Amino acid sequence: MGRSFEELLEEAAAAPVAGWDFSWLDGRATEQRPSWGYQRLMSARLATVNAALDIQTGGGEVLAEAEKFPPTMAATESWPPNIAKATALLHPRGAVVVADPDEPPLPFADAAFDLVTSRHPATVWWDEIARVLRPGGSYLAQHVGPASAFELVEYFLGPQPAARRKRRPDDEAAAAEAAGLQIVDLRSGRLRMEFNDVGAVVYFLRKVVWMVPGFTIEAHLDRLHRLHDQIRQHGPFVAHSTRTLIQAEKS
């Protein structure tokens, strides 16, 4: 029969959610990866520049997978548990982690970096990215796309027509160009996600807090119980994430 509804909730509620390590979900949830391999692209670019900045680095896990850092490597993060985790992970490799509220301005001088990277930034301040890039510098990032995992979001919140229109790749490209950047690559992907038990859903929503803002088990207990029954009767809950690869250059 497997673990009970209450056991699954209790386990997921107790799991630590700092950083961007999702290994707790191994065997409990899956998500397809985009074809372009952001990690590989980022690592290759970092090896070719003198100064780079990783924005909203989370716990530093993605950046830390790069084989080689440039002589100057900085990262920003706003959430205190992540700042501590990123500092412990990145400082031994010579990277500095800067506590930043994720609001303009970035705490760096004009034209300070050859490369700015980011994986799944919650917000994108294009004017600031353009400002801290030197002429000829590049922005390389993987953004969350429009209506990502909205099967899950709308299960809890109901229809979100306005939110579905946000994060469109063509809108992001236009905003980048308005800030003085030239788009050199723009790709989109829609990727299958599967949640094998209700605990995986709870953990995911606790970690990715902007999906269902203010999510708590107590406030959504009825929906969670219904979801638990649905998964047991019909198999994994299926959603689809969306991702955008964007590369831009400052002329």
Mean pLDDT by 10 residues, the chain (251 residues): 91 92 96 97 98 97 96 96 96 97 97 98 96 98 97 97 95 98 98 98 95 96 98 98 98 93
CATH architecture of 5-250: 3-Layer(aba) Sandwich (3.40)
pTM of the model as a whole: 0.91
**Predicted local confidence at residue 1, as pLDDT:** 55
Domain ranges across the chain:
5-250
Return contacts of 31-40, CB within 8 angstroms, 24+ apart: 31/191, 31/192, 31/193, 31/194, 31/241, 32/191, 32/192, 32/193, 32/241, 33/191, 34/142, 34/187, 34/189, 34/191, 34/243, 34/245, 35/189, 36/187, 36/189, 36/245, 38/119, 38/142, 38/245, 39/65
